[in-house]
Amino acid sequence: MIYFVTGNKGKFVEARAIIDDLEQRNIGYTEVQADSLEEVATFGIAEVMRKLASPAIIEDAGLFIDHLQGFPGVYSAYVFDTIGNQGILKLMAGVENRRAVFRSVVCYGEPGMEPRFFRGEMEGRIGYAPRGEGGFGYDPIFEVEERTLGEMSLEEKNRISHRARSMMALKEWLDLGRP
């Protein structure tokens, strides 16, 4: 059993569809202001290890928009809670270059070992209006091949998403016996 420390039910559902041996724990940890997802995850997993002292993962993800020089990036959750999808669409009004990348870093920790990182990325673009009822967060405005993530089923999203890719990398490592 591996604890996935998150308060985000959507993240847990996506991860559990890939790795059966996960249990959600919403114990919270400090998300430091940092320049990279890896820095946030490193600080977070150290705190989680002090609290749990058992195998655990945390995941940090961000939406990096080219026209906005990578914003909201590591601040994606805060920005979503503050201005939401409508705020991002307002920032992108009149912009032609709508390229964006979702990045995910999963950090695995267990007592007595250095944390391991698993990364995933998905390229797409910011749409012009929210579409779809699926997913969470920025999913209704993030387009991949003319569809938003919000228009995809969990199975479809988990074939291509940044989080699925980082979780699959973790799963492969676990299946290999943690070399």
What does the pLDDT look like over 137-149, one tens digit per residue? 999 999 999 999 9
Cα separation, 49 vs 129, whole angstroms: 41
Catalytic position from the list 20, 35, 60, 81: 60
Asked whether residue 53 carries a pLDDT value surpassing 90, the answer given is no
pLDDT at 179: 60
Strand partners, 22: 2
Domain architecture of the chain: domains with CATH:
2-175 (3.90.950.10)
The C-alpha atoms of residue 122 and residue 171 are separated, in whole angstroms, by: 18
Please indicate whether residue 20 is annotated as part of the active site: no
Per-residue pLDDT tens over the stretch 16-37: 999 999 999 999 888 888 999 9
